[in-house]
Structure 1
Amino acid sequence: MQNPADQTARRFGAVNWMGLYTLAQRETLRFLAVWTQTVLAPLVTAGLFLLIFTIAIGPSRPDVMGVPFVMFLAPGIMMMTVIQNAFANTSSSMVIAKVQGNIVDTLMPPLSPLEILLGYLAGGIARGVMIALVISIAFLVLLSIAPQHPLIALTFVVLGGALMGALGLFAGIFANKFDQMAAITNFIVTPLAFLSGTFYSVEALPPVLNRLTHLNPVFYLIDGLRYGMIGVSDSSPWLGMAVCTFATFVIGAITWLMLRTGYRLKA
């Protein structure tokens, strides 16, 4: 029989550190087990994006914000890769568990909704940080791009992993089938990533589109990482941190509520 004191501590919010660590470890090892798909493939994709744009328009493109176009483009491609993979890590884990019927293995252990949320986010953030590290090494070797503000760059990579990891978990809970998950990815995540200043400066946009872009949290992720990597940005990195932190909190809170109520998780 469980000690009543332990039950009281649990009821008043004591953290199940072992359970949280185990879930985070599971989510991390899950993508490391297939690292050629989850780490190497994004590196190749990022390299192909950079190569295609460099060959197609790089030589004839004037400097953007005072830096060569390739140097301007590189941080945007890095963040786009990070957020897509952080989203994929949490969303695929949740959808696969629901489709295969083993979501009960996550819901039955003594884990609070917040601990489940943080465990999944840990995997998404770890995947995002690892991919960013691998790509940054490649950029340093091939393009001689070294982070100008490493701590700011790392902060935005972590924020990107957390924001899109939370959004991925939200989408994974909401979706009951793979085609629903694909629809969310194609019609929400991909447009957010591509229409956020990845390949261009938002100052070149018409006023209306410029204002709309500033409502997109992904814009601040890309712009903040660009400042951390090459020292230029369209907006203040401190504003970007505030916007991305707030967006992460809002999406995380909604996802926590879904976990707490068992929305689309419990029959």
Structure 2
Amino acid sequence: MLPRLANKIGFVNWRGFLTLLWKEIHRFLKVPLQTIFAPMMTSVLFLAIFTLAFGGSGRYIGAVSFDVFLAPGLIMMAVIQNAFANTSSSILISKVQGNIVDILMPPLSPTELTLAYVLAGVARGACVALVVAVAVWPFVDLSVHSWPVIIYYVFAAGLMLSLLGIAAGIISDKFDHMAAVTNFIIMPLSFLSGTFYSIERLTGIWYQISHLNPFFYMIDGFRYGFIGTSDSVVWVGALLIAAVDIALYIFVWALIKSGYRLKA
């Protein structure tokens, strides 16, 4: 019986993989006010408050008006926060409720489990990016410089934060641990990534530290896709993000493979 079942499943358990992927996507689509439209409202409020606080759209950063400079950063920040939230909450809630066993028992490989969670996180990040972009477009004179760059950074950033979310969900034992990761790692790196300012204004050690923040390259590269200028070399940032994604994928795959804090 078992060999026949294995042959039925084949090299890739597509049914199991797609079922878990749809389950994770359906999970955030069931509550769109919380998972998609709430980030949209937050981004629009940030845009309004910071634009007004800094003198309206008449203020410029380089040759770009402040609102045009700010809008892509807010879109990417929404991607970062929501891709992380999607995978981290899913894993941690399953652990706390004790139904993580329902995910581990089916014949799904570590690769299939990892990719299903990650792609669902990327999907939520892309949905939020689209909704936020549509919401801010009437208020900001945004134009697209490069669609391939925009699509790449949405996917690469969603991938990185989804993987970070899985790792955080696995390592955390309770919601306090997850809140600590969000408040002391994700949020500071997001706000200090050049979303609200150009790092060219920084000097000395702070300028160097900013270049060690991977979130900076996500924001900067994504912004380049709209305005055509950046504070860093775009292809270097793209390669760096790809390298971090690969390293995180290997780390998360190893965690799931070993069953660390997942199996009793």
Moved over 6 A (4+): none
Asked if the contact 2:57–2:66 (Cα under 8 Å) also holds between the matched residues in 1, the reply is no
Match of 2:113 in 1: 116
How far, CA to CA, are the matches of 1:138 and 1:177 in structure 2?
A: 35
Answering whether residue 17 of structure 2 is matched by residue 31 of structure 1, we say no
Superposition pairs of residues 119-198 of structure 1, within 5 angstroms: 119-198=116-195
Of 248-257 and 54-63, the range deviating more from structure 2: 54-63
- Give me the identity figure in percent: 49
- TM-score, length-scaled by structure 2: 0.96
Answering whether residue 39 of structure 2 is matched by residue 42 of structure 1, we say yes
Match of 2:3 in 1: 3
How far, CA to CA, are the matches of 2:81 and 2:55 in structure 1?
A: 24
Q: What do the CA deviations read for 1:59-114 (whole angstroms, capped 9, x no partner)? A: 38741131001110111111111100000000000000000000001101111111
State the aligned residue count. 264
CA-based RMSD: 1.7
Match of 1:51 in 2: 48
How far, CA to CA, are the matches of 2:4 and 2:135 in structure 1?
A: 55
SS for the counterpart of 1:95 is: helix
Asked if the contact 1:58–1:69 (Cα under 8 Å) also holds between the matched residues in 2, the reply is no
- TM-score, length-scaled by structure 1: 0.95
Match of 1:247 in 2: 244
Structure 1: which 5+ residue stretches go unaligned? none
Asked if the contact 1:23–1:119 (Cα under 8 Å) also holds between the matched residues in 2, the reply is yes
Asked if the contact 1:156–1:221 (Cα under 8 Å) also holds between the matched residues in 2, the reply is yes
How far, CA to CA, are the matches of 2:153 and 2:237 in structure 1?
A: 9
Match of 2:254 in 1: 257
Q: What do the CA deviations read for 1:210-256 (whole angstroms, capped 9, x no partner)? A: 11111111111000110012212111221111011111111111111
Answering whether residue 67 of structure 2 is matched by residue 70 of structure 1, we say yes
Cα shift at 1:207 = 2.3
Cα shift at 1:152 = 0.7
